[in-house]
């Protein structure tokens, strides 16, 4: 009897084999990236040689390998090394120090340069004879060229595979639940093995200290909080719009998409009420519940509801995974763990404490003579301020876990609704790839979406404005709504996006303007005038300051790395591609967005995000386009991808996680939408969606368990860059300030200097004390940052008070204070008339005795 296969069966079997092969290749690459060999060396005194001054030198031998290398600092990459040197088990630092500083200042400074380590001891003694043990620990990485080749090759394989995704869906239909369950079980088993330590210690980003269970639990709490707040406020906005429109049978997109900017306005109003009014939180909750009531009588089409629920179920695990990833890498200090977040993240976390302390006026808690600050870009921190009373609430984790989760969730769900309404046809493989890429590359780097937290709302707002602008043919009111949403929405999210979103909202009216009624013309002109005045005021007020602190010019010119050159080329190609198929008004808007990004990326990076997303939406909505046009668009997105992967401060691992999480959420959002012809457009079943969701959640749980037990290390590596990490002792001292000083206290601290460190001139963590500090952050002051002479004068006054040379009440300030306190190093010899309030092993809090009145008595405590 002869056995054989039909051509269709052969193709199916080949595609099944390709699927398995691709999965194995992904796992192999992850293993190569995250299970790289570790180097631990005990330095013999005989191997150390003296350099000059306090500096000593030791050669680091890693061995020759064509696969792995030990990254070192160099003139091109001054902070690439992840090496740590220990003295009797305690890490020395700061790393990446200038060699002249190591020689002249010592105190543990070191630098991994080339094949050796220049280092100094903590007390200036000779490491060859002081009797202390010195050791080195470092993590190897794939050779840069090899890593680039492997990742790009695998990405190209993924894209090629997606070109045939119809066969992939047919494969799912044929194998059904069994295939998805088998794959899910395999991935979960690998995650469990990694968490149990079967593969040893796995470093999935940069090497660093292990985390603990308390942090892992808090991360999950804040990720779920991000889900609840995002969906909750969007639902309230939908309730308001449903009440205004009145039609109880409106489809999900007809309500939820235009409700997105309404939800931002509602959120701003409720947050302001909660922070300013007596009983504000309770009143805000009541109003929020009232906004939900119109949804009770809403009856959207059943298939849209089912599809949206399936999409949400599939998106949530990817969203939570990304939020948890950001929080593991960049968390703030906890009761047991140190952290070194970037300055922007610390600034927004500080704003949460600041708003909770006093929402109006918006005081500059880091400089007592600073002007009241603007509220731009602070909607999400203001939301955090209303939640600060919750048990275990942590501002850093809210921005990271909550913000990262919200970004993926809001972006993917808005895209799902847009596709449900605008794309009734079956999405071809190339279109699917193009739209997914447009969403994935729309960021500066993965961490940026939480570091610059207003970005959480930008993708959803962009999709919403474009959806309304496209409905102009039905009524001019949609144009007015789109323009208003672009203007107000940008004010409440990322301010600079108004340069793209407001003109974008008006595109539908450009050709129709002469024929519009007088009232409609007047409305368009009024919004345009408001936008023009607003733009002029913002540029006049802020542009000189930004030019003073950052250089204009393309990123590829300012930082000539190959991947930034690729992104600038890709952005330029985006601006050219849109002219090949879009109308003139839309092409002009997107080209202007690209131009602003290229001219001043420091300020207008968000406009690139808008342009990338809009180009993807235009391509998928345009119907039949030439293969040349689609190839140009595909090339532009691919050129932008490397900057996203290699530009993240935590390394390429963050780019990989970003692609998995946001790319996975985008694909499930698109594949899960309802379509007109279900016979020719295969749908993912609830069982498949459930398997994907369950597997993703299981991987998250096992991964976090591995992190909690120390078998998986996930760290940003920023402690190698920041010379002064935020420690548990620092958290404790500013908590003592918040709990043990009067509201009218003025704090003087020695945690400030002329540097740009987060415990130097950028100390916004001091805001966590929720008291006015004379000076802790000049870096965020528009008055001091560009004026070095005035900064020196303020620092001199601050130092005179801390040394007891000047009474604090003689210092001129904008308002009067009833008491004065000092937060200083625990080793400082305080003036004799200072009264100790609290002290730990690093810092001390003093009442500057004789200068305060009406103080409550607090016994000194030394934990």
| DSSP state string for 627-639 | HHHHHHHHHHHHH
Asked if residue 639 and residue 775 are part of one domain, the reply reads: no
Residue 92: predicted pLDDT: 85
Q: How many CB atoms lie within 10 A of CB 25?
A: 15
DSSP three-state, residue 69: strand
Residue 830 maps to a domain: yes
Q: What's the number of domains the chain is made of?
A: 3
Strand partners, 745: 819
Q: Which of 22-36, 64-78, 183-197, 764-778 has the lowest mean pLDDT?
A: 22-36
The answer to whether 412 and 668 are in contact (CB under 8 A) is yes
Average pLDDT of span 705-733: 84
pLDDT of residue 300: 94
d(CA 38, CA 208): 12
Q: Is 198 found in the same domain as 166?
A: yes
- Per the structure, the complete domain to which residue 816 belongs is given by 728-847
pLDDT band (50, 70, 90) for residue 206: confident
829 located within any domain: yes
* pLDDT tens column, 224-263: 999 999 999 999 999 999 999 888 899 999 999 999 999 9
Judge whether residue 857 has pLDDT over 60: no
Is the domain of 484 the same as that of 606?
A: yes
135, 170: one domain: no
Any domain includes 560: yes
Q: According to the model, what pLDDT value does residue 677 have?
A: 46
CA–CA distance, 321 with 342 (Å, rounded to integer)? 21
- Within 10 A of 20 (CB to CB), how many other CB atoms are there? 10
3-state secondary structure of 110: strand
Inside any domain, residue 562: yes
pLDDT of residue 91: 79
Tell me the pLDDT band of 850, cut-offs 50, 70 and 90: low
**Pair of tokens at residue 356:** 């909770």
Q: Are residues 202 and 321 in the same domain?
A: yes
Give yes or no for residue 744 having a pLDDT over 80. yes
Residues 509 and 524: beta-carbon distance below 8 Å: yes
Q: What is the mean pLDDT of residues 806-817?
A: 92
Average pLDDT on 294-302 reads 93
Looking at the structure, tell me whether residues 492 and 566 fall in a common domain. yes
676 and 756 in a common domain: no
Same domain, 120 and 169: no
On whether residue 87 sits in a domain, the answer given is: yes
Note whether 97 and 119 are same-domain residues: yes
CA distance 410 to 259: 12
Q: 167 φ, ψ to 5°?
A: -65, -35
Nearest Cα to 676, choosing from 489, 421, 505? 421
DSSP secondary structure of 727-739: PHHHHHHHHHHHH
pLDDT above 50 for 780: yes
Higher-scoring residue by pLDDT: 206, 789: 789
Does some domain include residue 225?
no
Q: Are 655 and 644 in contact (CB under 8 A)?
A: yes
Domain match, 66 and 192 both? no
| Residue range 134-168, pLDDT digits in tens | 988 887 777 777 777 777 777 777 766 666 555 55
Answer yes or no: is 118 within a domain: yes
The residue from 92, 116, 139 where one domain ends is 139
Give me the residue label for tokens 């000539």: 560
Instruction: Band the pLDDT of 436: cuts 50, 70, 90.
Output: very high
Burial label for 612, CB within 10 Å (0-12, 13-18, 19+), is buried
Q: Do residues 467 and 406 both lie within one domain?
A: yes
pLDDT, residue 855, reads 38
Answer whether residue 790 shows pLDDT above 90.
Answer: yes
- The answer to whether position 683 is within a domain reads yes
| Res 859: pLDDT | 37
- Are 820 and 783 members of one domain? yes
User: What is the helix (H) or strand (E) element at residue 243, kind and residue range?
Assistant: helix 213-245
Average pLDDT value over all residues in the chain: 86
Closest C-alpha among 477, 409, 450, 483 to residue 233:
409
Give the least confident one: 58-72, 523-537, 751-765.
58-72
């Amino acid at each position: 009897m002869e056995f054989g296969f039909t051509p269709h069966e052969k193709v199916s079997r080949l595609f099944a084999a390709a699927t398995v092969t691709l999965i194995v290749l992904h796992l192999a690459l992850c293993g190569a990236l995250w299970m790289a060999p570790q180097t631990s060396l005990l330095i013999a005194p005989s191997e150390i040689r003296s350099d000059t001054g306090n500096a000593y030198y030791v050669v680091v031998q890693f061995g020759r390998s064509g696969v792995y290398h030990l990254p070192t600092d160099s003139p091109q990459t001054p902070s690439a090394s992840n090496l740590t040197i220990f003295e009797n088990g305690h890490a020395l630092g700061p790393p990446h120090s200038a060699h002249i500083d190591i020689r002249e200042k010592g105190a543990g400074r070191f630098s991994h340069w080339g094949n050796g380590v220049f280092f100094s001891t903590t007390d200036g003694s000779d490491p060859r004879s002081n009797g202390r043990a010195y050791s080195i620990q470092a993590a190897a990485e794939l050779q840069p060229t090899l890593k680039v080749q492997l990742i790009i090759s695998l990405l190209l394989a993924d894209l090629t595979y997606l070109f045939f995704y119809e066969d992939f869906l047919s494969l799912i239909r044929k194998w059904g639940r069994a295939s998805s369950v088998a794959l899910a079980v395999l991935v979960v088993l690998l995650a469990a093995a990694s968490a149990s330590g079967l593969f040893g210690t796995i470093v999935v980003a940069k090497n660093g200290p292990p985390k603990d269970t308390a942090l892992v639990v808090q991360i999950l709490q804040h990720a779920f909080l991000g889900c609840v707040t995002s969906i909750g406020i969007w639902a309230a906005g939908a309730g308001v719009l449903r009440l205004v429109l009145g039609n109880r049978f409106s489809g999900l997109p007809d309500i939820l998409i235009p409700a997105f900017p309404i939800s931002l306005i509602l959120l701003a109003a409720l947050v302001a009420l909660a922070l300013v009014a007596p009983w504000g939180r309770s009143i805000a909750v009541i109003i929020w519940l009232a906004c939900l009531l119109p949804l009770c009588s809403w009856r959207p089409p059943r298939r849209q509801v089912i599809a949206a629920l399936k999409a949400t179920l599939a998106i949530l695990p990817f969203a939570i995974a990304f939020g948890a990833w950001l929080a593991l890498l960049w968390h703030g200090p906890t009761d047991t763990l140190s952290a070194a977040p970037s300055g922007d993240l610390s600034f927004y976390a500080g704003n949460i404490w600041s708003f909770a302390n006093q929402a109006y006026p918006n005081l500059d808690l880091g400089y007592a003579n600073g002007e009241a600050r603007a509220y731009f870009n602070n909607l999400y921190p203001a939301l955090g301020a209303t939640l600060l009373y919750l048990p275990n609430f942590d501002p850093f984790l809210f921005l990271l876990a909550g913000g990262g989760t919200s970004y993926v969730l809001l972006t993917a769900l808005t895209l799902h609704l847009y596709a449900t309404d605008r794309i009734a046809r079956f999405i071809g493989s190339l279109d699917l790839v193009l739209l997914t890429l447009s969403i994935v590359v729309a960021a500066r780097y993965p961490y940026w979406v939480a570091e610059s937290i207003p970005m959480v709302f930008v993708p959803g707002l962009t999709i919403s404005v474009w959806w309304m602008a496209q409905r102009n043919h039905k009524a001019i009111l949609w144009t007015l709504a789109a323009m208003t949403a672009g203007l107000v929405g940008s004010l409440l999210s990322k301010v600079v996006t108004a340069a793209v979103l407001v003109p974008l909202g008006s595109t539908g009216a450009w050709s129709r303007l002469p024929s519009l009624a007088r009232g409609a013309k007047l409305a368009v002109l009024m919004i345009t005038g408001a936008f023009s005045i607003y733009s002029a005021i913002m540029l006049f007020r802020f542009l000189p300051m930004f030019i003073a602190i950052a250089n204009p010019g393309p990123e590829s010119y300012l930082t000539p790395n190959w991947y930034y050159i690729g992104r600038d080329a890709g952005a330029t190609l985006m601006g050219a591609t849109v002219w090949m198929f879009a109308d003139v008004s839309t092409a002009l808007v997107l080209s202007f967005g690209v131009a602003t990004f290229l001219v001043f990326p420091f300020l207008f990076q968000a406009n690139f995000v808008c342009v990338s997303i809009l180009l993807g939406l235009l391509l998928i909505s345009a119907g039949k386009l030439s293969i040349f046009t689609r190839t140009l668009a595909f090339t532009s997105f691919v050129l932008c991808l490397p900057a996203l992967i290699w530009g993240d401060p935590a390394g390429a691992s963050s780019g990989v996680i970003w692609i998995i999480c946001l790319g996975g959420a985008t694909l499930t959002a698109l594949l899960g939408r309802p379509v007109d012809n279900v016979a020719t457009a295969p749908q993912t079943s609830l069982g498949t969606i459930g398997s994907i969701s369950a597997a993703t959640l299981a991987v998250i749980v096992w991964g976090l368990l591995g992190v909690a037990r120390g078998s998986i290390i996930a760290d940003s590596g920023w402690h190698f860059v920041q010379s002064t990490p935020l420690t548990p002792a620092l958290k404790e001292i500013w908590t003592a300030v918040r709990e043990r000083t009067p509201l009218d206290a003025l704090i003087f601290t020695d945690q400030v200097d002329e540097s740009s460190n987060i415990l130097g001139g950028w100390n916004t963590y001091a805001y966590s004390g929720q008291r006015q500090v004379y000076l802790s952050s000049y870096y965020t002051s528009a008055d001091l940052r560009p004026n070095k002479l005035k900064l020196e004068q303020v620092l001199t006054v601050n130092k005179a008070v801390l040394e007891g040379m000047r009474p604090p009440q003689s210092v001129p300030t904008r308002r009067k204070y009833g008491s004065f306190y000092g937060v200083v190093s625990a080793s400082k010899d305080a003036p004799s008339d200072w009264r100790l309030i609290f002290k730990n092993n690093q810092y001390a809090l003093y009442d500057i005795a004789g200068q305060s009145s009406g103080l409550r008595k607090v016994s000194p405590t030394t934990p």
